[in-house]
Amino acid sequence: MSIKQYTTSLSIGVRNYDASKAFYTAVLAPLGLRLVYDSAAAALPPQGTKAGVRARTLGYGVDKAHELLNVFEFGGAATPPGPRPGVEFHPQAMGAGGLDNGQPGGRKHYGGDYFAVFVIDPDGWRLEAVQKGK
């Protein structure tokens, strides 16, 4: 597997979309990451969360094909082909004290080549490992 074949990213949930957008846009810029996706600016329907609440989503990366961080709002109501690294990520997370929040698999509603796994870390942070590409 090569980084050229796949793009893998992490996602975090935030309570305040606008404040988080301003924060992450500012602090990631010195690292060479910029805002490459904004579901609100694109007037796209927000992506879903586990509790069924719709969430606005931001994507940061070097370019659209290489999103490295996704930030999604979850608010107070939501407790938000080829080898796939997420398949290995999930059991590692479970073995290290994480909780399952979504088994590895394709998420067609996020895009045809969107493969993700969701876990919750020991502090309650919801993590999403995403892989895009065929």
pLDDT in tens, 5-64: 556 678 888 878 888 899 889 888 888 899 999 987 766 555 554 444 457 889 999 998
pLDDT in tens, 75-122: 543 333 455 666 777 888 888 888 898 888 888 777 677 888 888 877
Query: Letter for the amino acid at 53?
Result: V
Distance CA 134, CA 107 (A): 13
- What local confidence, expressed as pLDDT, does residue 41 receive? 72
Distance CA 10, CA 126 (A): 10
Residue 63: Cβ within 10 Å count: 10
For residue 16, what are its two tokens? 């305040």
Distance CA 86, CA 80 (A): 18
Helices then strands, each counted (H, E), the chain: 2, 9
Which residue ranges form the domains of the chain, and what is each CATH number?
Answer: 7-132 (3.10.180)
Q: Which is more confident, 125 or 54?
A: 125
State which H helix or E strand residue 102 sits in.
strand 99-106
Residue 70 has pLDDT above 80, yes or no: yes
